[in-house]
Amino acid sequence: MMAEKAKMEDMVNHPKHYNESGIECIDALEAMLGDGFESYLQGNIAKYLWRYKYKNGVEDLKKAQWYLNKLIEVCDAS
């Protein structure tokens, strides 16, 4: 039962553990980091690309893609 619930959860776009207090963690980080937010995104892209073969495979590639899309969104807005 628990494994089925975890499979249904979107671990790339909206993992439940990043929204426990009613605000997405990424939004709080953006507010806290200001100009440093772009560097944060770049670091996460590198992290997920670095480890994908050794940890979560395609899921990590999708996470890297998510952070890249967020970086593009942030850069387009500025």
DSSP code at position 34: G
Q: Say yes or no to pLDDT of 21 above 90.
A: no
pLDDT bin (cut points 50, 70, 90) of residue 4 is low
Domain ranges across the chain: 23-77
Rg over alpha carbons for the chain, rounded to the nearest Å, is 14
pLDDT for the residue 15: 76
Of residues 7 and 19, which shows the higher confidence score? 19
Query: 66: which 2 tokens?
Result: 């998510």
Max mean pLDDT range (2-6, 18-22, 59-63) = 59-63
Per the listing, tokens 């999708």 go with 62
Q: Which amino acid is at 36?
A: G
Q: What confidence category does residue 1 fall into, taking pLDDT thresholds of 50, 70 and 90?
A: very low
**Token output for 3:** 């494994």
Structure tokens at 44: 């996460």
Would you give the end-to-end CA distance of the chain in angstroms? 45
